[in-house]
Amino acid sequence: MEIRTLKYFLAVAREQNMTEAANLLFVTQPTLSRQMADLEKELGKKLFIRSNRSTTLTEEGMHLRQRAEEILALVEQTKSEIKDEDLNLTGCIRIGAGITYLVHYLTDTFADLRKENPHLTIEMLTGNADIIQEKLEHGLLDFGLFIQPFNVENYNYLELPGKNRLGIVTSIHSPWAKLDAVTPENILGIPLMTSSRHNNRSFDLEGWSKGKISVEKLNIVGTMDLSCNTNPLVFQQVANLLCLDRLEHHESPELKFIPLEPAYEVSSLVAWKKYRLLSHSSQVFLERLKEKVNPEK
């Protein structure tokens, strides 16, 4: 399977038309059709559903599309890393991050480098820990910012100073807005939106409550990847968000953050894959980040 073939395949997948894809690739339609037929033969799977007007992907085709996009992104990243110059940093720093105010350590570090190296760029992916870890594993990210808990067994990591406190975000008009704290006794009656983290275990409420509550007993309205798109549910008093404090998208006069009591604090860390060679730009970024996090060392 050649890189060129994957590029041809992605063009067909995006255009959903063999003729239009051929025109974009500057090849003839019979040539492109033959390439795709050879690819199907090589894989032993049908990748396309063909009709007179369109060419759509089968389930196997959709799987290949995801992998092809990852492979080509990795190829371009590798080219960029090899071309990296020692004196003037170029290329792209790729960072995945959960939502926490502590991300400023990474963005501030990049901002400082960018002033010195105007050709350096950044690619920011916002997602939960499962998404970020998958991208990091496949080499599509250089660094991941994770909110604890996170299993660091396969990673090098740098702990960030500062912590977030866990609590709920509720409407000021809700019956829970009168609370000063959310306790194990009153959390069971509160309808909640919680994290959808699966591979990386989310907050341990059983440990926090010393066994007084379990996840099964909570009033779960739904789950969320990230909390930034769920404010309307809070405004309408459909649910309350179980999330971290100091998040900008919750700083509204119509919303109130109520911390858990006893206090539940979480730390964050920046991780990168063990034994993976970082580009020169990424290595310099990491060194600067360490200086910002531990200025006395």
Q: In this structure, what are the phi and psi dihedrals at residue 225, rounded to the nearest 5 degrees?
A: -75, -55
Please report the pLDDT score of residue 297 as a whole number.
60
Q: In this predicted structure, what is the pLDDT of residue 80? A: 67
**Burial of 22 per CB tally in 10 Å (0-12, 13-18, 19+):** buried
291/219 Cα distance (integer angstroms): 44
β-pair partners for 258: 168
Strand partners, 255: 171
| Closest among 147, 189, 148, 152 to 168, alpha carbons compared | 189
Determine the average pLDDT of the residues in 278-297.
89
Rg (CA), the chain: 24
Summarised one tens digit per residue, pLDDT across range 2-28 is 898 999 999 999 999 998 988 989 999
pLDDT (tens digit, 9 = 90+) per residue, 197-241?
Answer: 655 557 889 999 999 988 888 999 999 887 778 899 999 999 999
Which residues face 145 on adjacent strands?
Answer: 97, 270
What domains are defined for the chain? 1-80 (1.10.10.10), 84-159+265-291 (3.40.190.10), 162-264 (3.40.190.10)
pTM value? 0.71
